[in-house]
Structure 1
Amino acid sequence: MLSNEVHISSLIVHVAPEYLTATRNQIESFDNAEVYGDSPEGKIIVVLETENQGFVTKTIDAISDMPNVLNVALVYHEIDKEPHEISEASGVQFSEAEGIS
């Protein structure tokens, strides 16, 4: 039995260093985004928690379209199915994960 999916994704957002604080604040205003850190060089680590893959791509597009954003790279994407799928053959719980580098 499957119910809701939760998509966990991490991104590296690269901005011009002089716009780091303003861009970080804008990203933090997204309901599904959390900033985990940044660097003086203008790189921001962002984690998204969304309901489906459509929200992931929509959020990436929205961040990409922000002024002063130079690049957005998807680093990791995991799909967690709640409740966890249980393999009938083995009785083992698992979630589907996909790493992108």
Structure 2
Amino acid sequence: MSEAAHAKPDDIHIASLVVHVMPQALSSVEQSLRGVEDAQVHGTHPDGKLVVTLEGPSGGAILDKVAQIQQIDGVLNVSLVYQHAEPRHFLNQEVVNDQHSA
């Protein structure tokens, strides 16, 4: 069964990545990442590392974006650090802490 058959239309997938780049290409790669839909750069390091998050409707969509990032000139490696999926409506629910102080 294909991933499209498993994808739920109300799900959201969120992934975090470390993108390793040639240090001299850091700013051009950061600029190119602005062209990747639902990608956000949260930090950079002059040694050639970027912390990036992606959002998408399925794991396959996330992997497609990872493949797109890997094709950017100057990118050496993309490491998937974390991936999470949940129904979109859960993101708008309040988190309640049931633990009480003594």
TM-score (normalised: structure 1): 0.77
User: Hey, what does 1:61 align to over in structure 2?
Assistant: 67
The answer to which structure has the higher helix fraction is 2
Pick closer, same or farther for the CA change 1:30–1:3 going to 2, 3 Å: closer
Query: Secondary structure of the equivalent of 1:29?
Result: coil
> Are 1:20 and 2:9 an aligned pair?
no
Root-mean-square deviation (CA), in Å?
Answer: 1.7
Point out 4+ residue stretches in structure 1 off by more than 3 angstroms: none
Percent identity, aligned pairs only, is 33
Give the TM-score, by structure 2 length: 0.76
List alignment gaps of at least 5 residues for structure 2: 1-7, 91-102
Equivalent position of 1:52 in the other structure: 58
User: Is the contact between residue 3 and residue 83 of structure 1 (CA under 8 Å) also seen in structure 2?
Assistant: no
Alignment partner, residue 43 of structure 2: 37
Aligned residues: 84
Q: Any gaps of 5 or more consecutive residues in structure 1?
A: 85-101
- The letter for the 1-side match of 2:42 is Y
In terms of fraction of residues, the more strand-rich structure is 1
